[in-house]
Structure 1
């Protein structure tokens, strides 16, 4: 299954917010600044940020001194957190085994495919859960 670029954009946005807060003491960053600095269109940036806000990875503040900031330390955010935020409700694989063939052998092969992809998805899930965004900064 192909995914949008939202995962890499979400990671980039979170890293940028973290870096600006750490290095330049910015508390809130505007969507426009994030968009310009990361070269992501404003509508796309806003959409990804909405997803990050919904997942409580970022916090938005309205007003003249408002913007976006991290809701918790970067060291507590995993790749899986970002994936689940920007690709909500999606599995890592889309399994479509609706074929016109039937019979015990076909059913057995279909079950083997499902089992292997499920095991692979669980392994990827665990790997993403073990990887913190701060791992990228080391």
Structure 2
């Protein structure tokens, strides 16, 4: 029986909380605009209503803007809005804007485990984790923002 620590400290799941914050921001913005409450949502409003620190909101908005998911308007009455309809933006789009190809799982065998059995186990673990990530991304790709509200 192989007895070793699979993950080194800090290498478990690597996606940041920024993804869930970004998803909250995008859904909140879509809902407020769809309800006709406002034409643009300010960063301050997002920070206050979703309870995310303003500097974090600003960083997330920069990522969403860079990925083309939001547009911005300066000045009074300005803020952000989605660049296309909520039915045309997937949860995966938001995920991609924030995580930018970062893997969910970081797995590696300790260098001391280099026998055939350990390599075989490592390959099996890597395969399972890779498949889990593919399945998760497929689900995110099939879910739109409008599906969430």
- TM-score, length basis structure 2: 0.84
Aligned residues: 137
Matches within 5 A, 1:1-138: 1-137=13-149
Q: Distance in 2 between matches of 1:134 and 1:15?
A: 8
Q: Distance in 2 between matches of 1:18 and 1:37?
A: 14
Question: Which structure has the highest helix share of the two?
Answer: 1
Moved over 6 A (4+): none
Give the superposition deviation at 1:87.
1.3
CA RMSD for the aligned pairs?
A: 1.5
Structure 1: unaligned runs, 5 residues or longer: none
Structure 2: unaligned runs, 5 residues or longer: 1-12
Tell me: higher relative CO, structure 1 or 2? Use CA pairs within 8 A at least 6 residues apart.
2
Q: Deviations over 1:57-102 (max 9, x none)?
A: 1112223342111011111111111111111230122222233111
Q: Distance in 2 between matches of 1:15 and 1:101?
A: 46
Q: Distance in 2 between matches of 1:42 and 1:28?
A: 17
Deviates further, 56-65 or 31-40: 56-65
